[in-house]
Structure 1
């Protein structure tokens, strides 16, 4: 073991740990690779290989009703004709509206509820968090059964309350003007608890000394939120924003179970259009091209958010 001499008054010799032998480092690397290999194999088999196969299929013309050996190479033709179908264009528009509404409603509302659950010194906050998070862990099919009755025309709670005050209720899931909004409300209710828990966890990382100093300086609640909470919570907010985007753009279960893309295609999303094109019409190549496009949009948005965060941290 070597020593390091510290100069100055009261100098002393401190021990310095010798570097590990390279052979030992190589041995640890082999053991790490050995223990990680099962997880890497699973990721490769069930994630990477299907992704590569999807891209390969997107470059071919193939019906899922025939063997995969009968694929015909078409190159980028499936991507070039992606916008020729009016149903796909409508699905992309519906998806964009759905994603924007989900983000605009969920993120600010989640932040507000998280602050209400974190800052006030109230009893029972833990129970409220559990109740909020339960909406995320309950199976979607069970939630769909509940919300199909909530949205039921005539006898549903929403329609009954509106009728009680003299307002004619809309056809929540049968009216093209309201069906997409109804699905957004469903999504916000289901996912809000998950994002609230993430934001509360982020709030716990903010030093309380900052708020105490701000109070001494005369800063009110709004000023503290704008100058301390939001800047210190920016990483968590970006993560919640990204997760809201991913979960919204990949929405499928509520559409399949509640509306099946109707009425009049008003709730047809890209994810549902992929499933319908592939399994109902057998257009595997075109649906794969649409799936690759959807995946690339998620990658681009994630990269942009990462660049923005990196720039703000400099």
Structure 2
């Protein structure tokens, strides 16, 4: 509401109301076209290398086709390949092995990674950076090089693990040759290889927790255990869910260690989904069944990522 002010020698002066802030204009057609032009190269690459292969995999999964014959010889069979996958004891054993492998890998890796992250972040010790680099090095070193080392570690008779067991009078479990121990041996390999990566992710999450929260807790008399349970773990929940998501996805997609160390054996004890897909397609030539398994695995990964992503957003 305008008011009048008395100014000596100038009569009255009416105060002006401030002008409202200009409204933000909606993007015009010109700007939308420009945005589409800048995004089009990325969209074309995504369509060519992500969407198109997924659609092609779905299409092949609905056909009977041997990879040893031309693609024009495909025969439409509908969902028969999916029924064959469910009815196959070999494929179902691969599913069970994958579930065990993923569950054990996540159950061991996540708590161990959290413990190491806490030990590397809170104590003011010299050489923490060197230890982090050494842990992360196990992730960046090529899997082939690591497999050469672990094949000697697991070597029967002369391997260091068997020698250590012999010192205490324990027989070798037959790390990679025993059907009851081979899958667990691969889990140990996976934990050793991926642990440093998850530790670095959790340390990065710890840096986001304000130090003032810990100072207030110490003033209230909370010890290290109480701080970890009441402060660190709740505030680190988002990072923990992300690490769990990465651990599950990486474990489901495991292929290199199985292919290089065990070839799915012995007696299909380490035959997991990714290796079973490769063997079905390229050794047995059953591209339709392999595509059905691959597309089912894609749907499974999308479901797991969606569930854990929703949990992470709520964290």
Q: Does TM-score exceed 0.5, indicating one fold?
A: yes
Rate the CA distance shift 1:282–1:13 in 2: closer, same or farther, 3 A.
farther
Deviations along 1:235-291, one digit per CA (max 9) or x if unpaired, are 111111011000001100000000000001100001111000000111111111111
Distance change (3 Å), C-alpha of 1:13 and 1:309 = farther
Distance, in Å, in 2 between the alignment partners of 1:78 and 1:35 is 41
Structure 1 residue 22, shift from structure 2 partner: 5.0
- Are positions 1:169 and 2:179 aligned together? no
Q: C-alpha root-mean-square deviation of aligned residues, in Å?
A: 1.8
Aligned position for 1:152: 155
Among 67, 72, 77, the alignment partner of 1:74 is 77
Which shows bigger deviation, 25-34 or 69-78?
Answer: 25-34
**Matched residue, 1:136:** 139
| 1:233-312 matched pairs, under 5 angstroms | 233-310=236-313, 312=314
| Alignment size in residue pairs | 300
Change over 3 Å in CA distance of 1:157–1:80 after alignment to 2: same
What is the CA–CA distance in structure 2 between the aligned matches of 1:217 and 1:280, rounded to whole Å? 65
TM-score by length of 2: 0.90
- How far 1:157 sits from its partner (Å)? 1.1
For the pair shown, the structure with the greater C-alpha radius of gyration is 2
| More moved, 293-302 vs 47-56 | 293-302
Q: 1:122 aligns with which of 103, 122, 125?
A: 125
Assess, with a 3 A threshold, how the Cα gap between structure 1 residues 215 and 74 changes in structure 2: closer, same or farther.
same
Tell me how far apart the structure 2 counterparts of residues 13 and 82 of structure 1 sit (CA, whole Å): 75
Q: Work out the CA distance in 2 between the residues paired with 1:15 and 1:217.
A: 52
Q: What is the CA distance between 1:28 and its match in structure 2?
A: 4.2
Q: Residues 173-188 of structure 1 correspond to what in structure 2 (within 5 A)?
A: 173-188=176-191
Which position in structure 1 is the counterpart of 2:227? 224
The normalised TM-score by structure 1 is 0.90
Task: Provide Cα deviations, 1:64-122, integer angstroms capped at 9, x if missing partner.
Answer: 11111111111111112222111111111110100000000000000110111111111
Deviation at 1:21, TM superposition (A): 5.2
Q: 1:14 to 1:222 in 2, by over 3 A?
A: farther
Structure 1: gaps of 5 or more residues:
1-11
In structure 2, stretches of 5+ residues that fail to align are: 1-15
CA deviation map 1:182-207 (0-9, x unaligned):
10010011111111111000000001
